[in-house]
Structures are given as structure tokens and as C-alpha cells.
């Protein structure tokens, strides 16, 4: 099992989750929804007015039909009025005629109100027909912008998933299955490294004993944080520090050489490139640039130069003992292009072989320290 290879997989998984969340929260979504809503409201209002006009037309036809019936009825009463003699019958017919006239007048008033309303609706529909093309254009434009934004987000997600597939291909199935199971039931990190004596997932400090136990069970299902339950990947430390110090001691043969920045430089490439997914520090160009910077800032200051030179020397030695030169794209970045190499870091690719190297580093560093103490006595 190799938990180190899971760190970049988790980083890309987090990135995919962020991209999918950003896709759902695109600012074009509310803009498109607002434009579509404005168009639908305008269409609904226009349909409502047309429906009302249809109702008015039916009601006007009914009123006119009723008016004709009243005209016939009034003509009948007027004809009867000419033939009757009795005063009582005359008064009865006159009363009926007055009732017909009153109803007819009410019908005329109602029809006039409906015709006025219909005229107002005509004006409103004319305004709607003027504004609808603009609303339709705005809605279509907003929909196109949303579609373009979604397509761009989908392209980023597809690229991220392709990058994940490359990383997964370099990861052993057992480690990946363990990671997937833990990630499915945890909202926090499923795998983390021990950084500055703390779990990188929950940031809880681990005792020296707990850290030692993690190294013993490195890259096994037992290598989990006792506090948050995430898998713990142990960063190689002693191998690079030891090889850098021993090489420096053998080459320079200067007991006064300050090994502190040398040790920092020896582990700096993995500290930066491993969690970030970059390959900047595993490029010899970066170490050359760092060396040039040290030479520049320490110009005329020999004691400071001797101290600061440990940093670029450490990064150079890391590239040698990490085998970074085996990947031309990684080693010569950015000469071959600004895109980072898709290959996993050498420390990740070695897998469990890191364990004996780390043990060898501890033993060699201990022997060097004991020998140095003897020389000082």
C-alpha cells in the first residue's frame, strides 16, 4: 500500500468537488432565471389580457342579443298599446315598456364599460408586443451565457477527472479502495500527512510516541489518525537529510559548515510539491535559480553566503537522491513547457521502498552524529 500516492488523488477530488459546487453557483444561473422569469410574466400577462378580451367579446355578444330581444319585446308592447282602450291595461303596458327601456339602458351602459375595458386591453397588448421581442432576446442571450459557462465548467471537470484517472492509474487498488471507503463516510480529509508533529487532517498534535507508531505501521490500514480517523501518510525525512549531510561532509570536509539550512533544502521539494501537486521544486532550473538568488543577495557578505548556500545545495542533493532526473519533463521544467508533469513524485512512486530508505537514513544519521561528537571531544 502507498498512502502518499493518495494525497494528490485527494487534492484532485477536492478540486472536482469545488468545480461541481461552482458549477451549481454560477452567477449566470440567477441572471438567466431572472430573464426567463420576466419573459414568462410578460407572456402570462399577455395571455391573461387576451383571455379577458375573449370574455368581453362573449359578454358584448350576449348583451347585444339581449338588447335585440328587448327591442322585439318593446315593439310588441307598443303595438298592443295602440289597440287597448281600458286605462288599466294602458298603464300596465306603459309600465312594461318602462321596464324594458330601463333594462336596455343598463345593458348599453354595461356594454360601454366593456368596450372601454377592451380598448385599454388593446393598448396594453400593443405595449406587450413591443416589449416581448426585447425580453425574448434577453432571455435567449442569458441562456446562451449560462450554457457557455456550464460548458466551461464541464470542461474543467472533465480535465480534472482525466487528471484523477492518471493519478489513480499510478495508485495501488488496495490503497485506493481504503481511501474511497474512508472518504465516503468522512466530511473532512480522508488522507493527510504528518506536518510539524500534527495530523494534517484535524491539525491535532501527535505525541512523539504516536508519530513513532505511525512510522512503524506506515502504508498499512493501521496508519490512521487516532483523533479524526484519516489515513496518515508519513513524509520521508531522514533519508534526504542524511544523504545531504553526509554528501556535504564528504565533499566540503568543513566541520563548521551549518547543516540547518542544508537539511531544510533537502526536504523542501517534497514539502512544497507533494501537497500542492506542483513540480516546481523538483526542477533543476529552480535549484539553479535559487543558487543564483543566494549568490546575488549575499554579494560581498561571505559569512552570510556560506550560511545561505546550504539551502540550494540541499535542493540539488534532493534531486539526486530522489531520482528526479528520471523524469525529463519534471527535471527540466519549464524548459519543455510551463505545464507541470503528470507523473507522480519519485517519493510517491517508490511506495513501500521508502521505509527501508528511511530506516537507513536514521541509522546513518545516528552514526554520523556519534562520530562527530567523538571528534569534538
Q: Check whether residue 48 and residue 95 sit in a common domain.
A: yes
pLDDT: which is higher, 345 or 75? 75
Q: What is the pLDDT of residue 36?
A: 95
Q: What is the pLDDT of residue 234?
A: 65
| Average pLDDT of the chain to the nearest whole number | 84
**Final residue belonging to a domain, choices 143, 169, 195:** 169
Q: Check whether residue 347 and residue 206 sit in a common domain.
A: no
Q: Check whether residue 225 and residue 123 sit in a common domain.
A: no
What is the mean pLDDT of the segment spanning 175-188? 85
Q: Check whether residue 34 and residue 159 sit in a common domain.
A: yes
**Does the pLDDT at position 252 exceed 90?**
no
pLDDT: which is higher, 130 or 193? 130
Q: Check whether residue 140 and residue 203 sit in a common domain.
A: no
Q: What is the pLDDT of residue 308?
A: 86
Q: Check whether residue 221 and residue 247 sit in a common domain.
A: no
Q: What is the pLDDT of residue 288?
A: 92
Q: What is the pLDDT of residue 69?
A: 94
pLDDT: which is higher, 115 or 264? 115
Q: What is the pLDDT of residue 270?
A: 79
* Domain span holding position 214: 173-233
Q: Check whether residue 143 and residue 185 sit in a common domain.
A: no
Q: What is the pLDDT of residue 355?
A: 62
pLDDT: which is higher, 237 or 336? 336
pLDDT band per the 50, 70, 90 thresholds, residue 371: confident
pLDDT band per the 50, 70, 90 thresholds, residue 74: very high
pLDDT: which is higher, 148 or 5? 148
**Does the pLDDT at position 92 exceed 60?**
yes
Number of domains in the chain: 3
Q: What CATH number is attached to the domain comprising 50?
A: 1.10.287.1490
Which of 93-97, 106-110, 169-173 is predicted with the least confidence, judged by mean pLDDT?
A: 169-173
Q: Check whether residue 271 and residue 323 sit in a common domain.
A: yes
What is the mean pLDDT of the segment spanning 204-230? 78
Q: Check whether residue 362 and residue 222 sit in a common domain.
A: no
- Per-residue pLDDT tens for 346-355? 766 665 565 6
pLDDT band per the 50, 70, 90 thresholds, residue 146: very high
Q: Count the alpha carbons within 13 Å of 287 in the hemisphere toward its beta carbon.
A: 28
Q: What is the pLDDT of residue 44?
A: 94
**Does the pLDDT at position 190 exceed 90?**
no
Q: What is the pTM of this model?
A: 0.55
**Does the pLDDT at position 218 exceed 70?**
no
**Final residue belonging to a domain, choices 182, 210, 233:** 233
Q: Give CB contacts under 8 A, 24+ apart, made by 326-332.
A: 327/282, 330/279, 330/282, 330/283, 331/282, 331/283, 331/284, 332/283, 332/284, 332/285
pLDDT band per the 50, 70, 90 thresholds, residue 32: very high
Q: Check whether residue 228 and residue 358 sit in a common domain.
A: no
- Per-residue pLDDT tens for 267-290? 888 778 766 767 788 899 999 999
Q: Check whether residue 159 and residue 206 sit in a common domain.
A: no
pLDDT: which is higher, 192 or 228? 228
**Neighbour-count burial of 5, counting CB atoms closer than 10 A to its CB (0-12 exposed, 13-18 middle, 19+ buried):** buried
Q: Check whether residue 79 and residue 50 sit in a common domain.
A: yes
**Final residue belonging to a domain, choices 169, 188, 217:** 169
Amino acid at each position: 500500500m502507498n498512502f502518499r500516492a493518495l494525497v494528490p488523488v485527494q487534492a484532485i477530488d477536492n478540486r472536482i468537488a469545488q468545480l461541481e459546487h461552482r458549477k451549481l453557483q454560477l452567477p449566470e444561473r440567477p441572471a438567466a432565471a431572472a430573464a426567463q422569469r420576466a419573459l414568462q410574466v410578460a407572456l402570462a400577462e399577455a395571455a391573461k389580457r387576451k383571455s379577458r378580451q375573449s370574455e368581453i367579446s362573449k359578454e358584448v355578444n350576449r348583451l347585444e342579443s339581449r338588447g335585440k330581444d328587448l327591442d322585439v319585446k318593446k315593439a310588441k308592447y307598443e303595438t298592443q298599446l295602440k289597440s287597448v282602450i281600458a286605462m288599466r291595461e294602458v298603464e300596465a303596458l306603459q309600465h312594461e315598456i318602462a321596464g324594458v327601456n330601463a333594462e336596455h339602458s343598463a345593458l348599453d351602459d354595461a356594454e360601454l364599460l366593456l368596450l372601454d375595458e377592451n380598448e385599454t386591453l388593446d393598448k396594453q397588448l400593443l405595449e406587450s408586443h413591443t416589449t416581448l421581442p426585447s425580453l425574448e432576446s434577453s432571455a435567449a442571450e442569458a441562456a446562451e451565457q449560462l450554457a457557455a459557462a456550464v460548458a466551461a465548467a464541464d470542461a474543467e471537470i472533465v480535465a480534472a477527472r482525466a487528471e484523477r484517472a492518471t493519478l489513480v492509474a499510478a495508485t495501488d487498488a488496495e490503497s485506493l479502495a481504503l481511501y474511497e471507503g474512508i472518504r465516503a463516510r468522512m466530511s473532512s480529509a480522508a488522507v493527510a500527512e504528518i506536518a510539524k508533529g500534527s495530523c494534517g487532517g484535524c491539525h491535532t498534535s501527535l505525541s512523539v510516541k504516536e508519530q513513532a507508531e505511525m512510522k512503524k505501521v506506515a502504508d498499512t490500514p493501521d496508519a490512521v489518525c487516532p483523533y479524526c480517523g484519516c489515513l496518515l501518510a508519513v513524509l520521508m525525512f531522514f533519508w534526504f537529510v542524511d544523504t545531504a549531510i553526509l554528501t556535504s561532509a564528504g565533499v566540503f570536509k568543513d566541520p563548521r559548515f551549518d547543516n540547518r539550512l542544508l537539511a531544510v533544502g533537502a526536504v523542501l521539494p517534497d514539502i512544497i510539491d507533494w501537497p500542492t501537486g506542483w513540480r516546481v521544486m523538483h526542477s533543476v532550473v529552480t535549484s539553479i535559480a535559487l543558487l543564483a538568488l543566494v549568490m546575488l543577495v549575499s554579494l560581498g557578505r561571505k559569512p552570510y553566503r556560506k550560511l545561505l548556500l546550504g539551502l540550494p545545495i540541499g535542493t540539488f542533493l534532493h534531486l539526486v537522491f530522489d531520482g528526479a532526473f528520471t523524469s525529463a519533463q519534471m527535471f527540466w521544467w519549464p524548459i519543455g513547457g510551463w505545464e507541470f508533469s503528470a507523473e507522480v513524485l519519485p517519493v510517491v512512486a517508490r511506495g513501500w521502498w521508502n521505509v527501508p530508505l528511511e530506516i537507513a537514513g536514521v541509522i546513518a544519521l545516528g552514526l554520523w552524529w556519534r562520530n562527530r561528537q567523538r571528534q569534538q571531544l
